[in-house]
């Protein structure tokens, strides 16, 4: 079962690389500095280029990749990491995901809703 342990450890490392973990989310101030992107286009790209595979369809994260939804994520850091990741994530060069597409993807991520304000009964 080492794989799960390592998966979580990897997720933790990637989380550290992307910034401190925060539970619920406020709008990212850095998002204002991001290039304009289309949420719907970003949603399609999120699936077609494979971001969902590690981070989930909603960017909620999982064993293979950290949560990216509902968190303060500066576009500059996001872009730099996607282009030249330092851990297990495969690189997405500009050749395969142009900057404009990356902006759409970022817009989709920023649009992901925060979790419910009240803790669902099942989790209490």
Residues at the interface with another protein (CB under 8 A):
1-10, 12-13, 21, 23-24, 48-50, 52-54, 56-58, 60-64, 67, 69-70, 87-88, 90-93, 95-97, 115-116, 119-120, 122-123
Q: Minimal distance in Å, beta carbon 51 to another protein? A: 9
Cβ atoms 99, 35 nearer than 8 A: yes
Of the two residues 33 and 99, which places its CB atom closer to another protein in the complex? 99
Residue closer to another protein by CB (options 69, 103) is 69
Q: How far apart are CA 23 and CA 2, in angstroms?
A: 27
The nearest distance, CB 67 to another protein, in angstroms, is 6
Judge contact between 97 and 6, C-beta under 8 A: no
Least Å from the CB of residue 5 to another protein: 5
- Residues across the chain: 124
Name the residue among 56, 66, 51, 76 with its Cα closest to residue 17: 66
DSSP 124: -
Whether 62 and 55 have beta carbons less than 8 Å apart is answered as yes
Is 63 or 76 the residue whose CB approaches another protein more closely?
Answer: 63
Q: Would you say 33 or 84 has its CB closer to another protein?
A: 84
């Amino acid at each position: 079962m080492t794989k799960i342990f390592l998966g979580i450890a990897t997720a933790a490392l990637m989380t550290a690389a992307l910034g401190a973990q925060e539970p619920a989310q406020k709008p990212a101030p850095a998002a204002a500095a991001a290039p304009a992107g289309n949420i719907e286009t970003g949603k399609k790209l999120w699936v077609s280029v494979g971001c969902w595979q590690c981070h989930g369809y909603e960017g909620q994260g999982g064993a293979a990749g950290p949560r990216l939804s509902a968190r303060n994520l500066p576009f500059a850091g996001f872009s730099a990491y996607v282009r030249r990741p330092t851990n297990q994530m495969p690189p997405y060069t500009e050749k395969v995901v142009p900057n404009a597409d990356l902006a759409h993807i970022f817009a989709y991520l920023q649009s992901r809703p925060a979790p419910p304000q009240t803790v669902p009964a099942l989790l209490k």
